[in-house]
Structure 1
């Protein structure tokens, strides 16, 4: 795939690597400008697939900022578990170079509107504080910091440091906590840990666009690692943790976006039959449908799609990825179908009019305005970031174009 020059002044939009005529064919409502998010909640709703890369990777920033990964709209440069202790200094130096490269892009274009979101995963609050001193005014080029190993304690220092760095910035320095501390994982202490996290969120809601769940670390506490043919929801202890996180952090009236755990497979041998049905692919692609399906199954992407759809069904939004090719699949699974969009609009219209239960045009779905209103509001936020498909298309239509990065 040929690289396309990334222009900081052109609005960052999901699926912008598709030709205009393809976007017009697929979308009833195109994805909106991602950096137009005016609040932490809107930003959390705009983050879909987030690529993690070791901070000492010599070419990751070059590929990202040079347009070689056009499907990547958010990236984390990791200074924690992804690199060895002996490589920490090199990773920190590389992050400085990333921030300088971002500044050059912004100065050349006069705007950061077209640049992907850049985050750095640090090790501890003390490490974060030291990095702020190292970065100086370059920290204004960073969108946020990923805070690892968060449990009942440990989040407050990150939030206080981020709040203190607010001066001189055109936006908040976001904190993305990764929930993977032992007190948060263990049943005996989880309730208290989640309550403390909720209190911190309520006090600093403008700094926390989303929380992330550390599926790898959590599984490791029990010596577990999900096999290729299973999703994280088949790992009972982690599934229970996810449910409790959604219960506390995802509830109305002030929910926070909760990101799905990392999918760590690229290719692997399988034991069970794939769960992707053939008919939807034939409906979307005709005779080519079987080949598109086979490519997904061969590359372990059927598991990624299934887990992402289960994430959404369980109240999670977005997902950590480890390979740039995964982004298009995760983001495609978040696109709003035309039926969802019409249903959400009908629910919100009924709420405004004070109407009772009704059905969507054609009778495909019952709408009950009061209980469905929170879902409808979240669906409209998702539509802004990911777009709305034409009635004749499913999200599968976004999986075929070869220029997805």
Structure 2
């Protein structure tokens, strides 16, 4: 779990790319995103799956020198099995599992165990009805506890959850001003107290004029404790990585909390610091300081 959490803080903005794109190598060598997901699910059609797998294999056979953490979003347990059978698959960091719930979790587990390859990381995505039922999320978490692979984070599929509610988010509200906020709250309480991290949902508007709203949403992501967010366009990457990274003043404050942890309370930078309730946050900040 520890190594998986360290990877979480290196993910930064996770940029999704359709796996059928012909220039994947060039895009991977030039991206500034902390992580990239090659998508074989919603970003492509059913009839394009075979072409996407061939494109991925071709990319990995001449794997370029890249700085980003590379994942593949497997469309189904069968596609995951097909990917795991590629001789070149060891080049990637891991897989994103879409729409995970009780209907498919054991199939994904079986695909991993049958492959005999457990060095990969998995990022399961919560984007079905289970997100609106806290008890079912807890039951799902207990199953995933038995997986042999590292879990850097659970991803929250905001648009799929909106789709379940027959809603399309308008371009003047953040995700926290929609009913999906309930699902976000459920995921936080079901997973984070038990050692799992979470990724903030995508912001689907990509024009320059929408960047102020993205910034507002990112500030709320930070308030909710997220340090990774899905990106669907390179224009979003710098802002996501700037706002969701820890700042120098936060690192300095964390050091002071550790230094004064024997005190009940002290004042610093105009705020009350109570080490007994802030110590976990401080340890987290310092454990990842210098991670880049």
1:362-377 superposed matches below 5 A: 363-377=269-283
Q: Provide Cα deviations, 1:246-293, integer angstroms capped at 9, x if missing partner.
A: 011111xx42110011111112xxxxxxxxxxxxxxxxxxxxxxxxxx
Question: What secondary structure, in the 3-state scheme, does the structure 2 residue paired with 1:250 have?
Answer: helix
Quick check: 1:99–1:141 contact (8 Å CA) kept in 2?
yes
Residue number among 169, 182, 185 corresponding to 2:131 in the alignment: 185
Measured on the aligned residues, the alpha-carbon RMSD in Å equals: 2.2
Deviation at 1:158, TM superposition (A): 2.4
Q: 1:158 maps to which residue?
A: 108
Q: 1:140 maps to which residue?
A: 90
Quick check: 2:97–2:124 contact (8 Å CA) kept in 1?
yes
Deviation at 1:227, TM superposition (A): 1.2
Are 1:339 and 2:285 an aligned pair? no
Q: Provide Cα deviations, 1:356-379, integer angstroms capped at 9, x if missing partner.
A: 21122xx42211011111211232
Q: Provide Cα deviations, 1:157-197, integer angstroms capped at 9, x if missing partner.
A: 32443355565x8xx21111110122x134xxx12321123
Question: What secondary structure, in the 3-state scheme, does the structure 2 residue paired with 1:342 have?
Answer: helix
Deviation at 1:382, TM superposition (A): 4.9
Deviation at 1:86, TM superposition (A): 1.7
Counterpart-to-counterpart distance in 2, 1:207 and 1:377 = 21
1:352-367 superposed matches below 5 A: 354-360=262-268, 363-367=269-273
Q: 2:21 maps to which residue?
A: 57
Larger displacement relative to structure 2 (327-336 or 197-206): 197-206
Report the TM-score, using the length of structure 2 for normalisation.
0.92
**Structure 1 residues 303, 197: CA separation in 2 closer, same or farther (over 3 Å shift)?**
same
Deviation at 1:381, TM superposition (A): 4.1
Are 1:97 and 2:58 an aligned pair? yes
Counterpart-to-counterpart distance in 2, 1:336 and 1:142 = 27
Q: 1:243 maps to which residue?
A: 185
Counterpart-to-counterpart distance in 1, 2:47 and 2:145 = 38
Are 1:266 and 2:206 an aligned pair? yes
Question: What secondary structure, in the 3-state scheme, does the structure 1 residue paired with 2:205 have?
Answer: coil
**Structure 1 residues 357, 129: CA separation in 2 closer, same or farther (over 3 Å shift)?**
same
1:97-116 superposed matches below 5 A: 97-102=58-63, 105=65, 115-116=67-68
Q: 1:44 maps to which residue?
A: 8
Counterpart-to-counterpart distance in 2, 1:57 and 1:138 = 18
Counterpart-to-counterpart distance in 1, 2:229 and 2:183 = 16
Are 1:379 and 2:289 an aligned pair? no
1:292-303 superposed matches below 5 A: 298-303=208-213
Instruction: Give the paired residue count.
Output: 292
Deviation at 1:339, TM superposition (A): 2.2
Quick check: 2:258–2:279 contact (8 Å CA) kept in 1?
yes
**Largest Rg, 1 or 2:** 1
Larger displacement relative to structure 2 (207-216 or 303-312): 303-312
Structure with more contact order per residue of length (Cα contacts < 8 Å, sep ≥ 6): 1
Q: 1:348 maps to which residue?
A: 258
Show structure 1 runs of 5+ residues with no match.
1-36, 106-113, 268-297, 387-405
Report the TM-score, using the length of structure 1 for normalisation.
0.67
Residue number among 61, 80, 84 corresponding to 2:45 in the alignment: 84
Quick check: 1:51–1:323 contact (8 Å CA) kept in 2?
yes
Quick check: 2:10–2:34 contact (8 Å CA) kept in 1?
no
Q: Provide Cα deviations, 1:117-140, integer angstroms capped at 9, x if missing partner.
A: 11111111122112222x1x3111
Deviation at 1:240, TM superposition (A): 0.6
Quick check: 2:37–2:73 contact (8 Å CA) kept in 1?
yes
